[in-house]
Amino acid sequence: MSAPASKTVRSPQPRFPGLRRFFREPLGVFGLVLVVILVLGAVFAPYLTEYAPNALDIKSRLAKPSSEHWLGADHLGRDTFTRVLYGGRIALKVAAWSISLALFGGVLLGMLAGYGPRWLDNLLILIFDAVRSFPTIMFALAIITLTGPSINMVIMVIVITSIPVYARIVRAQTMALRESEFVLAARSVGTGWFRMLYLHILPNVIGPLLILASMDIPVVVTIESGLSFLGLGVRPPTASWGTVLADGYAYVRNTPWLLVAGGVPLILTTLGFTFMGEALRDVFDPTLKKRD
């Protein structure tokens, strides 16, 4: 009798290989930890402090860091640690709304420009170039000076100036995909333009864009803080990292810890989202993945 044929035993494929590669990146894990700490601090701010962000205590005016006030108190006796926690809420709120709306508008207009007729592409590119010709800060100063400071105006300015960036990236990827085999095959069987964009183009362009958006969050947070520092962002007495910096700058000779309290969260936010975004890019973007 002939010997039975040997069967090839395949080793089981690991689940979520991308996440495994991500957690092998030390800087990516460090960035993720910073992001989680910042998000948890903002979400659970009422449970992490016994003070209200706008509660006045004249007796504690310009108090130094102590066991009672971990980061000291400002010129009105408000607890700085509490205001930093609640300022994180404002920063993450502005970033979440701005990035989400800019992504939606950028993806929609970018796909229309890349897949639509030539005249529509030229018109949208003209609009994108016109918007991007103005520096973001100067555009924000001009608009908010006319309309008055508010968090909604800050979000609107960031959305308007961010949409062309995302739209141009999506447009380039859409133009590269429109002549690919699977798109031509879907077009040959009569697939409509909406179904084509939603089912075939969108899944192939959204991944790298989400990674880019995560790396843009620190930029948005910095813009909001800068405008609040200048008095053109959130209105007092709302707590913001920018207003904490403004209060610290006014009393920098007496209370340097206020500047530290307002500046450190900005640094940690930048490091956290940048490290996490770069690690995600290296792991999940096949065109930029690190070679072993």
* Local confidence pLDDT in tens for the 292 residues of the chain: 445 554 554 545 555 566 677 778 888 889 999 999 999 999 999 999 888 888 888 888 888 888 888 888 888 889 999 999 999 999 999 999 999 999 999 999 999 988 888 898 899 999 998 888 888 888 888 888 888 888 888 899 999 999 999 999 999 888 888 877 777 787 777 777 777 777 778 888 887 788 888 889 999 999 999 888 888 888 878 889 999 998 888 888 888 888 888 899 999 999 999 998 888 887 766 555 544 3
Q: Please list, in sequence order, all residues whose beta carbon lies within 8 angstroms of the beta carbon of residue 75, skipping any fewer than 6 positions away.
A: 61, 62, 247, 250, 251, 255
CA distance to 50, 60, 64, 192, 239, per residue, from 55 (Å) = 11, 11, 17, 58, 11
Go through the domains of the chain in sequence order and give each one's CATH number.
50-284 (1.10.3720.10)
